[in-house]
C-alpha cells in the first residue's frame, strides 16, 4: 500500500478510551498497539489487568494521563470462573501446576459459603507473581529468578460477593471490591480454606468506576477504525463524571492558572451554593470556554475553606 493510501493516523487525543481488553495480551501490550497503530504517543492506563483477564481497561490519552490516580482509586466489579482441585504458582491457570487434589468434598453448599465469606475480608496476600515491589524489584522478577519472595499483605475491601453458578469443579462468581484487590488471591485463599486448591480460570472486569463494560470498545475495532477513533474517546471534561463541575470567570481562571485558591462559596457558572461544600469535597474547574483547568479539593487554609488545586489540567 502506498503511503498516500494509508489511513491518516489520528491526532493525539485527550481523554479516556474505555477498552474491552481481550484475554491474552498484557495491558501494556494493548497500549503499545494503540500507540503504534494510532499514533497516540502520550498514553497510560488506570488499573492494569493480568494477561488472563479481559474487560474494562481505562486507557488514558494526552492530558488525561494526569488524572490516573483519580480513576484508579474507584471500585471494581468482576465476573470470574474458578476451578477447584488445582494449585499453581501464579494462582491462575496460566501458571505452573504445583498440586492437584480431588475436590469431591467441596460440595456446592461449602463453596457458596466460602465465597460469601469474601465479604468479610479486610486484607489479602499479594501473589508472588505480581507487579508489587520488594526493595524496588517486582515480585514476579524475584519469583522467575528463583529467589525467595517475601509474603506481603495488603488491605482490601469486598463490597459484594455472590455465586452465579456451580458446576463442580467450576464455579462462576461476581465480586465488587476496592482498587488493587487481587482476584487471583481471593480464589487461592478459597482453595486453601476448602483444602483442595483453586485457580482462576477466567476473569472479566465488568466495571471500573465510573465506567462499565457496555461503554467499552474492542481492541481490534479501535485499531481497525482509525477514522472513528476520536469518536470513541471520552473527552477529558467528561472523564470524571462523579466530580461536580464549576465554570470559572476569566479572572477566576487566571487565579487558578497561577496556582491560587478560590473561596469555598465562590460564585461560578456551575453548581454552587451560598455555603461551602464539606472539607474533602472535590470538583473539576473549567474555564469560560469550558476547557478543563484543574481538579480541586475543599481544604481549610488561613482559617477558611478554600478550593485548593490537586492537579492542573491546562
- Catalytic member of 50, 221, 287, 302: 50
At which residue does the C-alpha cell 488472563 appear?
A: 52
Contact 247, 269 (CB under 8 A): yes
Instruction: State the sign of the Cα–Cα–Cα–Cα dihedral 99, 100, 106, 111.
Output: positive
Give residue 228's Cα distance to chain centre: 24
What are the distances in angstroms from CA 238 to CA 16, 67, 247? 9, 12, 14
Q: How far is it, in rounded angstroms, from Cα 82 to Cα 148?
A: 27
Q: Which three cell numbers stand for residue 207?
A: 466495571
Nearest alpha-carbon partner for 149 in 136, 134, 167, 170: 134
Give catalytic status of residue 221 as yes or no.
no
Contact between 263 and 304 under an 8 Å Cβ cutoff? The reply is: yes
The residues assigned a catalytic role are 50
Amino acid at each position: 500500500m502506498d503511503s498516500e493510501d494509508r489511513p491518516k493516523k489520528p491526532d493525539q487525543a485527550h481523554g479516556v478510551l474505555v477498552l474491552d481488553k481481550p484475554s491474552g495480551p498484557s495491558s501494556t501490550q494493548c497500549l503499545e498497539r494503540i500507540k503504534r497503530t494510532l499514533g497516540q504517543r502520550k498514553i497510560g492506563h488506570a488499573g492494569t489487568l493480568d494477561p488472563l483477564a479481559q474487560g474494562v481497561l481505562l486507557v488514558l490519552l494526552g492530558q488525561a494521563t494526569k488524572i490516573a490516580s483519580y480513576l484508579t482509586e474507584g471500585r471494581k466489579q468482576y465476573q470470574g470462573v474458578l476451578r477447584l482441585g488445582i494449585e499453581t504458582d501464579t494462582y491462575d491457570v496460566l501458571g505452573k501446576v504445583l498440586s492437584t487434589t480431588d475436590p469431591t468434598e467441596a460440595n456446592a453448599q461449602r463453596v457458596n459459603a466460602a465465597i460469601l465469606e469474601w465479604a468479610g475480608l479486610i486484607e489479602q496476600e499479594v501473589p508472588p507473581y505480581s507487579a508489587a515491589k520488594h526493595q524496588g524489584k517486582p515480585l514476579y522478577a524475584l519469583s522467575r529468578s528463583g529467589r525467595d519472595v517475601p509474603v506481603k499483605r495488603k488491605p482490601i475491601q469486598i463490597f459484594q460477593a455472590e455465586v452465579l453458578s456451580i458446576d463442580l469443579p467450576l464455579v462462576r462468581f461476581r465480586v465488587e471490591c476496592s482498587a488493587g484487590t487481587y482476584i487471583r488471591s481471593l480464589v487461592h485463599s478459597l482453595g486453601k480454606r476448602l483444602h483442595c486448591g483453586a485457580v482462576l480460570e477466567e476473569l472479566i472486569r465488568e466495571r471500573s468506576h465510573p465506567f462499565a463494560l457496555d461503554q467499552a470498545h474492542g481492541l481490534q475495532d479501535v485499531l481497525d477504525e482509525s477514522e472513528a477513533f476520536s469518536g470513541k474517546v471520552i473527552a477529558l471534561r467528561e472523564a470524571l463524571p462523579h466530580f461536580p463541575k464549576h465554570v470559572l470567570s476569566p479572572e477566576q481562571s487566571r487565579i487558578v492558572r497561577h496556582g491560587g485558591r478560590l473561596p469555598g462559596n465562590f460564585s461560578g457558572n456551575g453548581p454552587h451554593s451560598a455555603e461551602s461544600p464539606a472539607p474533602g469535597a472535590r470538583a473539576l474547574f473549567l474555564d469560560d470556554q469550558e476547557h478543563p483547568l484543574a481538579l480541586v479539593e475543599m481544604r481549610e487554609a488561613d482559617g477558611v475553606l478554600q478550593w485548593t488545586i490537586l492537579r492542573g489540567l491546562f
